[in-house]
Amino acid sequence: MKEIEIVQYTAISGLVMYFDCVNYRTPHQHREFEMMWIIDNPIRITCGGESFIAEKGEITILNPGLVHEFYAKEGCTFLCIQVRPELWGLSSHLTETRFDSRLLSRSFTPEEMQELRELLTKAAAAYYSREEGCELYAISRMGDVFCRLLKKLPHHRMTLRESADLEKRSALIDRMLSYVDEHYAEKIRLTDFAEQEALSMSYLSHIIKETLNQGFRSYVETVRLNAASEMMLDMDRKLLDICYSAGFSDYRYFSSAFKKRFKMTPEAYRNTVSVRRSDDHMLRSLHSTEKFLTEKETKELLGFLALENEKAKTSNK
């Protein structure tokens, strides 16, 4: 599965920073550490066999190769920071490092959390700046952040075998996700993919369940429902045609599954789409419903966050 391309305003190899507003994102993975600073509404993150809520102000960190899924009923805006372990040329150490805790507030005091938010704000402001030396400043601030993570956050180093096994599993999951993307509209079966990979059904089912926190059928159905919701933006298409085009063979089952997923019938959802269509700027795809903030919106939000940081600093004196 291909990652969504993010427009980078400062080209820094190994570092990407952007604001995103997400309603839902299917299971996916990165080769980078991914940090999220939650700006407004809470978001449910499912990964590594657990599901937890990140509230406003929380900062989370997800390890490279960790498959994760997002869901935010009201839409969650967050600052996303993707960092390659090689960013500081310390690949021999960070490449094998894995953090054992996802929520930073479990290990950092409120004062320390505020210091991290200030560092992230400064790093992001530099990232979106065009001033000379801004890249070095952004990398330096992120270096400070990771130094604090290594000092306070529980972590361990993978062995060479663990690293090789993770790489192998990540590649397998990538192939499985791509396989579903290509065949979800057809009569797709896990047995076919298992034969393609020369793997047993029991082993493959175990890997998928353990990695995606759901079974193969459940994941395929999620992709099909997302595809159907995207097709509904075309108001000329009939719902029955959308049902079949998304890979469902029975409309009653499709309607029931759709209602369970979106909390409304396909007919009701179609009506909400027609109402929201003119002013809804959310990006909908097979894998997500989200909106990336523009450069102007990003700089305005960074300005607001900088003021909030100053207020917090003053109130703590």
Q: What is the CATH number of the domain that holds 214?
A: 1.10.10.60
132/168 same-domain check: no
Instruction: Look at the chain and report how many structural domains it folds into.
Output: 2
Cβ atoms of 228 and 267 within 8 Å: the answer is no
Task: Note whether 55 and 174 are same-domain residues.
Answer: no
* pLDDT score recorded for residue 275: 54
Residue 57 lies in a domain: yes
Q: How far apart are CA 314 and CA 190, in angstroms?
A: 58
Rounded Cα–Cα distance for residues 116 and 122 (Å): 10
- Three state DSSP letters for 243-277: HHHCCCCCHHHHHHHHHHHHCCCHHHHHHHHHHHC
Q: Is position 2 within any domain?
A: no
For residue 283, what pLDDT is reported? 65
What pLDDT was estimated at residue 8? 46
Has residue 7 been placed in a domain? no
Q: Is residue 53 included in any domain, yes or no?
A: yes
Residue 244 belongs to some domain of the structure: yes
**Does residue 142 belong to any structural domain of this protein?**
yes
Q: 20 and 149 share a domain?
A: yes
Look at residue 304 in the predicted model and tell me its pLDDT: 95
The pLDDT value recorded for residue 272 is 81
Residue 110 and residue 214 in one domain? no
Same domain, 138 and 164: no
Say which CATH number the domain at 26 has: 2.60.120.280
User: Is residue 3 assigned to a domain?
Assistant: no
143 and 21 together in one domain = yes
If you ran DSSP here, which 8-state letter would residue 95 be given? T
Is the separation of the CB atoms in 273 and 282 below 8 Å? no
Same domain, 141 and 186: no
Task: Give the whole-angstrom CA distance, residue 272 versus residue 235.
Answer: 11
- Average pLDDT for runs of 10 along the chain of length 317: 45 91 90 96 92 97 94 93 87 83 97 97 94 92 96 94 91 94 94 95 93 92 92 92 96 96 91 60 72 92 94 77
- Could you tell me if 147 and 165 lie in one domain? no
pLDDT of residue 102: 96
* 8 Å CB contact between 212 and 180: no
Residue 8 in domain: no
Q: Are residues 243 and 171 in the same domain?
A: yes
One domain for residues 140 and 49: yes
Q: In the numeric block, which tokens belong to residue 23? A: 């309603």
Do 23 and 148 have their domain in common?
yes
Looking at the fold, whether 247 and 301 belong to one and the same domain comes out as no
Task: Map tokens 């978001």 to a residue.
Answer: 43
Residues near 186 by Cβ (< 8 Å), separated by ≥ 6?
247
Per the structure, the complete domain to which residue 109 belongs is given by 15-153+289-315
